[in-house]
Structure 1
């Protein structure tokens, strides 16, 4: 199955000139969802990954499924103020300003092998901040995986520049 065909493209969302790549159609297709998870898991099976960290919110869906398949724990990385226990946070730049994300202080242990997972890598601000947050807790970020890469925006290259291998299942040109 061509996964790219199962992703809906919405023009001029959230603002004119942007094409939003919507994976809810992929998630709603049982074969495409299964294939996506299988392809995200495949390179890491048997490598000793201990945790999968998912970025809010679609990264929770994919990351949870990937963690299950790898028999690894799942770690949510959330927007500031959403986690109930003691957290550490990091600020990062967005296209329209600055935001913060958090992780529970005890979510990963020093030296644990962690994969970062989300639906899409664009400019890389969120993913790079999440990787740094995990590293700040002592985790070894062994890879980052995404369904979609928008290579023209350079996010995957930024992650690779942080020595984080990147895997994406499909690419879309433009933004």
Structure 2
């Protein structure tokens, strides 16, 4: 399992705040500085996994698109599968769907059945 000396404070400091993106009134959290630094990325995955192991996790699911990055890395670290959760209409097979509300609208997500 990944282990580093990265603190939550270091991770928080690396994440950029981008005001009014994608729309006015939204504060976007830009994670690309974490992704660009192998040490920070490794530490982030370690923090996300916490004490979980393959003994306690059957599969990791991640929401499009940041969830793909972190979820796939977590699944790989645990040696388990990964389930992508995508926007409605983006998966090419039978799906289960769920709608939700955002600050700036609504959306529907789906997973394969």
TM-score w.r.t. the length of structure 2 is 0.84
Query: For residue 80 of structure 1, what is the aligned residue in structure 2?
Result: 88
* Equivalent pair of 2:68/2:84 in contact (CA under 8 Å): yes
Secondary structure of the 2:85 match is strand
Distance in 1 separating the partners of 2:86 and 2:26? 25
Distance in 1 separating the partners of 2:33 and 2:57? 29
Distance in 2 separating the partners of 1:26 and 1:57? 15
Partner residue of 2:57 out of 19, 38, 49 = 49
- Unaligned 5+ runs, structure 2: 1-5
Query: For residue 102 of structure 1, what is the aligned residue in structure 2?
Result: 110
Secondary structure of the 2:51 match is helix
- Does the C-alpha gap of structure 1 residues 79 and 52 become closer, same or farther in structure 2, counting only changes over 3 Å? same
- Does the C-alpha gap of structure 1 residues 84 and 17 become closer, same or farther in structure 2, counting only changes over 3 Å? closer
Secondary structure of the 1:78 match is strand
**1:92-171 alignment runs, 5 A limit:** 92-105=100-113
Aligned length: 105
Query: For residue 97 of structure 2, what is the aligned residue in structure 1?
Result: 89
Residue by residue, what CA displacement relative to the aligned partner does 1:92-134 show, whole Å, maximum 9, x if unpaired?
A: 11223321110000xxxxxxxxxxxxxxxxxxxxxxxxxxxxx
Which one is further off, 86-95 or 50-59?
86-95
Query: For residue 61 of structure 1, what is the aligned residue in structure 2?
Result: 69
Secondary structure of the 2:50 match is helix
RMSD (Å) for aligned C-alpha atoms:
1.5
Query: For residue 23 of structure 2, what is the aligned residue in structure 1?
Result: 15
Q: CA deviation at 1:71?
A: 1.1
TM-score w.r.t. the length of structure 1 is 0.56
Q: CA deviation at 1:21?
A: 1.1
Secondary structure of the 1:44 match is coil
